[in-house]
Amino acid sequence: MAGELLLEIGTEEIPSGYLEDALKAFRKIAKSHIEESRIDMEEALEVCGTPRRLVLICKAMADRQDELIQEVSGPPKKVAYDSESESG
């Protein structure tokens, strides 16, 4: 864990009554995307904001994605060859 993340989003005026819900949603969506991207975090995400700004802070985040190994197989052999074992 070597990096820090500071993400600030400028917005149109968010009514103050909606700001708390917006910050909760911002944290949830950001955490979901970071986890789906296979990026580790040591500390929880902090969010704060004003009616015109949403801010996300992570003080200890991996500087790289975790490796992903996928094994993908191609189409079945019967699709590529006819009954005489020749390409069809």
The answer to whether the CB of 49 falls within 8 A of the CB of 22 is yes
Would residue 82 count as lying in a domain? no
Number of domains in the chain: 1
Would residue 57 count as lying in a domain? yes
Would residue 81 count as lying in a domain? no
Q: What domain range is 56 assigned to?
A: 3-61
* Burial readout 53-78 (b: 16 or more C-beta within 10 A, e: otherwise): ebebebeebeeeeeeeeeeeeeeeee
Would residue 84 count as lying in a domain? no
Would residue 38 count as lying in a domain? yes
Per-residue pLDDT of the chain (88 residues; tens, 9 = 90+): 578 889 999 999 999 899 999 999 999 999 999 999 998 888 789 999 999 999 999 988 888 888 889 898 888 777 777 777 655 4
In 3D space, the residue among 51, 47, 68 whose CA is nearest the CA of residue 14 turns out to be: 51
How high is the pLDDT of residue 8?
96
Would residue 73 count as lying in a domain? no
